[in-house]
Structure 1
Amino acid sequence: MFILADDLGYGDVGCYGQKWIRTPNIDQLAKEGMRFTQYYAGSSVCAPSRAVLMTGQHTGHTYIRGNYDYETEGNLPIPDSTITLPEVLKKAGYRTAMIGKWGLGGPGSTGGPNRQGFDYSLGYLDQRKAHDYYIPYLWENEKKYPLEKNRDGNRNTYSHDVFAEAALTFIRETKNHPFFLYLPFTIPHGKLEVPTDAPYSLEKWSQPQKNYAAMITRLDGDIGRIVALLNELGIDQNTLIVFTSDNGPVKAVADQFDSNGPFRGYKLDLYEGGIREPMIVRWPGRIKAGSENHEIAAAWDVLPTFCELAGATTPKAIDGISFLPTLLGKPQPKSHSNLYWEFFEINYNWNKPDNKFPRIYLDKQAARMGDWKAVRADLLTKPDAPLELYNLKDDVGETKNVAAAHPDVVLQMTELLRTSRREGDFFKANPNQLLK
């Protein structure tokens, strides 16, 4: 089971230092499992982060490298030829389900969840629609699923609650069969709205801040319900749970709750605050309770890890490395020599007469090599801007650019940024034609 929060920061849960927001069930996962301290999301925004997770490829190689609107409902779809995690697990005999926010292809597209290996899907196919928690319909197996109580502008059914109930139903119905349940929940992504701001109603915070905290505590409560059901059904010992987030928090709430912990940056940034995330893995009797892993891991490692768990054949064209040995307390035979990220920005004013920028463009790059971290930003307007270099061992907050003192490392990192990417098929095509 893979539970993915949306825009949840490294410091937003108690076991990672949160002081104000209550997350007892997530904290309990950490007490009963392994807490990662150097886990990285695939990207600093929704769609590419999910694409990395599903394909095991980092954003220098994935087809989707930014949030691209596509047609009237849907986002740029991953190609039919893409080998995804659910396809591999389904072939290995697992029943597969996606409940939550997909964002990798709209209804009828090649990227739809049911066309990418999921036996069952319920949720938002278009991440833009996921901004509305009281939407009049969702998509079930790529057919409209009406939320009757939200018709005609009514706001009575909170979509996250639908997902939580659907997850519990899937577990009950599939308890006697191997299953892979992917839960990309939509909270605490904005809009910051929730049926009740309890237990924070009396706090002297702004209403959005109360709502943000209540959304995280609501998510935490539903995780508690899921774990309780696994125990009730007698399958707790045989179920591995992963909890993490797709990218860092937004600035408006992060500054109030210290959501990005000791790190610089927020969602959209390739500084640590935009991509370093909490990750907890729990498997009673197999993963040592209360353990911590300080080794580097990334979202593109999930696919090979799950393949090894399931005894499935791992696809060849991936960037990930299985961290299953680490989970089981064994020596890790392979580890990353480096990590890479890139982010493409979308220009929503591309067709205006005074527009000077292309519709999509490479905006940011980052890489990590040992304790060295390199960042390049604003690449369209500053293509020749000097590379920023940080030593995370001494400066985890990326406050001191030490590039001038380490020209040899700058050369290495510059070459790493150059060689870690390729122009995918989408970028060889005409993006302005594809993104109508």
Structure 2
Amino acid sequence: MRRRCLWRMIFAIGACQMAMLICACGARPNAPAADRVDGETARVPSRPATPLNFILILADDLGYGDLGCYGQRHIATPRLDQMAAQGMRFTDCYAGAPVCAPSRCALLTGKHTGHAQIRGNAHIRRVPLAAREVTIAEVLRNAGFATAAIGKWGLGGPGTEGVPMRQGFDSFYGFLTHAEARRAYPEAIWRDERLEPLTVDTHGQASFADDLFTEEALEFIERNATGPFFLYLAYTAPHFDGGGEVVVPDLGAYADRDWTDAVKARAARITRLDRDVGRILDRVDALGIADRTLVLFSSDNGPRVGDDFFQSAGPFRGAKSSLYEGSLRVPMIVRWKGTIAAGGVSDYAWAHWDVLPTFAALAGVASPQGIDGISIAAVMKGDAPPAHPPLYWETHELQFEQAARMGRWKGIRRGLRGRIRLFDLAADPGESVNVAAQHRDEVRAMRAFLDAARVNSPDWPVE
């Protein structure tokens, strides 16, 4: 019955998207996705003659509209704007989830929140990333890459299977838990699986955490310049500190602005993040490895509620924790000198769970089975883009909700039997008008996809 209904909707949704939807509805939950490479199946890519390095830089609560190259007019981000000018900027890239832990899980495992092991922040203390999960680091380390995670982890605390050293990383330097990551001036930082005390200066002042992460990242790149290497650099900026405010060593160029201290601090923190990313790019250039190093910059989710002075969510509705575009759509800038054309802008819609298969394809190794992502290497190179399956999210923070994007259509549903709110992103990117009543075929297709896109999890029960 469902398939007959779906076929009647082909002309409304598009044959390619609908074919993917039918496969999803009829497939065994958690079925292997074959060896997905560049959108194809059952083909293991060949290893490149010169191995590629990967640097994945992640901001924390940075909004779509917080960067100059995405329309920001008040916060200076010259280095990230330059990175976009030297590479490609994506306008329709999505985080894996609306909050930290599940977003990072989707990014590292290639699974959206309908299949991922971690689907929310609420239970992260008792649901660390399991040893059975395969991360980007494991895929690349098995192919001979040196791997390092630096910064905020958030997928498992001390002594659990979820710590970086048990998830494919050769080394780790940073915060294991979300609570630790709210200390801008920590007294200790984890190095591998040992808590390393930090020294303080003569005034009793500890070091600023993100500064330490940048220095550690520069040293890792220097040590492994001959490659290949994978660096996952997850900054804490511009997330607020344990006191609920954004903390930064100095306000810089914003000190004299006629703004509140909180607004000044957020701007200064973002500009400092921009500076740090610039230092990473400068080191790659100075070592002469920019033509064999792919650098990605993005954010784990959108800005928190209240970060609207700078219109941090850009033109979109909503903020962190919601399933609106302001929470899910994030900056994504990629640079690979000599391969990715400079100054490119792409509206190809993809998500963080596509990063793993993209890196795998470019490294010449197969992706793990059972993932949701596909390689978008072709898009980065300017080749014909692969057809992308519909995008899916679910959240368990305040109440269970689901969302999906299918082409131009975005659907959001509260509960498994709730009514679907439908938005036409092509005409209404701000999701201001619910058009469900005018597009019943699309609503039925959206409902069928939402019903089929997830598998039940005992850790994330839905009543």
Tell me the TM-score normalized by structure 2.
Answer: 0.85
Alignment of 1:409-424 (within 5 A): 409-424=442-457
Q: 2:321, 2:397 within 8 Å by CA — same for their partners in 1?
A: no
Q: 1:99, 1:182 within 8 Å by CA — same for their partners in 2?
A: yes
Q: Aligned AA for 1:426?
A: D
- Report what 1:352 is aligned to: none
Q: 1:135, 1:150 within 8 Å by CA — same for their partners in 2?
A: no
The reply to whether residue 183 of structure 1 matches residue 237 of structure 2 is: no
Match of 2:393 among 332, 335, 341: 341
Match of 2:301 among 247, 256, 260: 247
- Report what 2:36 is aligned to: none
Structure 2: gaps spanning 5 or more residues: 1-54
- Report what 2:190 is aligned to: 139
Alignment of 1:353-372 (within 5 A): 363-372=400-409
- Report what 1:402 is aligned to: 435
The Cα offsets for residues 349-400 of structure 1, whole Å up to 9 and x where unpaired, read as xxxxxxxxxxxxx5221011111100124x4xxx654211100011000000
Q: 1:428 to 1:410 in 2, by over 3 A?
A: closer
Q: 2:89, 2:346 within 8 Å by CA — same for their partners in 1?
A: yes
Q: 2:129, 2:155 within 8 Å by CA — same for their partners in 1?
A: yes
Structure 1: gaps spanning 5 or more residues: 347-361, 430-436
The Cα offsets for residues 156-211 of structure 1, whole Å up to 9 and x where unpaired, read as 31111110110011111111121000011110001200000111001111111111
Q: Distance in 2 between matches of 1:105 and 1:150?
A: 31
Tell me the TM-score normalized by structure 1.
Answer: 0.90
Q: 1:414 to 1:240 in 2, by over 3 A?
A: same
| 1:69 CA displacement | 5.0
- Report what 2:357 is aligned to: 304
Residue 29 of structure 1 aligns to a residue whose secondary structure is: helix
Q: 1:324 to 1:107 in 2, by over 3 A?
A: same
| 1:63 CA displacement | 0.5
Alignment of 1:28-39 (within 5 A): 28-39=82-93
Q: 1:134, 1:150 within 8 Å by CA — same for their partners in 2?
A: no
Q: Distance in 2 between matches of 1:237 and 1:321?
A: 24
- Report what 1:160 is aligned to: 210
Q: Aligned AA for 2:177?
A: D
| 1:425 CA displacement | 5.2
Q: 2:101, 2:124 within 8 Å by CA — same for their partners in 1?
A: no
Q: Distance in 2 between matches of 1:199 and 1:427?
A: 45
Q: 1:28 to 1:90 in 2, by over 3 A?
A: same
Q: Distance in 1 between matches of 2:213 and 2:201?
A: 15
Number of residues paired by the alignment? 404
The reply to whether residue 320 of structure 1 matches residue 353 of structure 2 is: no
- Report what 1:350 is aligned to: none
Identical columns (%): 48
Residue 393 of structure 2 aligns to a residue whose secondary structure is: strand
Q: Distance in 2 between matches of 1:119 and 1:305?
A: 21
| 1:426 CA displacement | 3.1
Alignment of 1:97-176 (within 5 A): 97-149=148-200, 154-176=204-226
| 1:108 CA displacement | 1.4
Match of 1:291 among 330, 339, 344: 344
Alignment of 1:48-67 (within 5 A): 48-67=102-121
Q: 1:305, 1:323 within 8 Å by CA — same for their partners in 2?
A: yes
Q: What's the Cα RMSD here? A: 1.8
- Report what 2:33 is aligned to: none
Q: 1:283 to 1:197 in 2, by over 3 A?
A: same
Q: Aligned AA for 1:374?
A: G
